[in-house]
Copies of this chain bind each other. A is one copy, B any other.
Amino acid sequence: MYPMFRFESIQRVTFDDLDPYNVVNNSRYFTYFERGRVDYLREIGLISGSAGDLEKIDVAVVENYCSYRSPAYFDNVLNVYLRISYIKRTSLQFQYIINRNEDKKLIALGYTNLVRVHFPELKPRSFDNDFKEKVRNYEKGNLGKMTGIPDVK
């Protein structure tokens, strides 16, 4: 649906995502983003469901943004489209577009800026070459284009 967004994480709205207004709570979208990032890293081969995965994704969130376009409801299936829009020596950005699967309605847009760090001291450090190569192979020529809030026309 969105040519620059090659990856899609399917997430179903669960009862615990809802607030008293019967819609997905605003804070929960940042959890959808985070789960999407994990799915993306699994897709490009950077994590594998094994014990060492948490060490491999040692990144810290620096900035988070979400624009809410339409509410999501109980049991909705959501298409969370993700891309890495840039990767530098120690930092990268994820962008998100969330649609409801049933009616393709736009639900939310967002982005996250992350830095790679040493835990627990949180000193920035470089991404491995393997990591950067896998991202470049996946995102191809789109890295560096359209950063920040995704432009959905």
Closest to A11 in B: B14
Chain B's closest residue to A115 (CB) is: B68
Contact B16 A34 (CB under 8 A): yes
- C-alpha gap A47/B54 in the complex (Å): 27
The answer to whether A19 and B20 touch (CB under 8 A), given A63-B67, A74-B54, is yes
9-residue interface stretch from A24-32, A128-136, A139-147: A24-32
Q: Give the chain B neighbours of A34 by CB distance below 8 A.
A: 14-16, 26-27
Interface size class of A (residues with CB under 8 A): 35 or more
- Is A4 interfacial (CB-CB < 8 Å)? no
Sample of 29 A–B contacts (CB below 8 Å): A14-B35, A15-B35, A16-B25, A16-B34, A18-B19, A19-B19, A20-B20, A20-B54, A21-B58, A22-B54, A26-B34, A26-B61, A27-B28, A27-B31, A29-B64, A30-B30, A42-B75, A47-B75, A49-B77, A53-B74, A60-B68, A60-B71, A62-B68, A63-B65, A63-B67, A63-B68, A64-B65, A64-B68, A65-B65
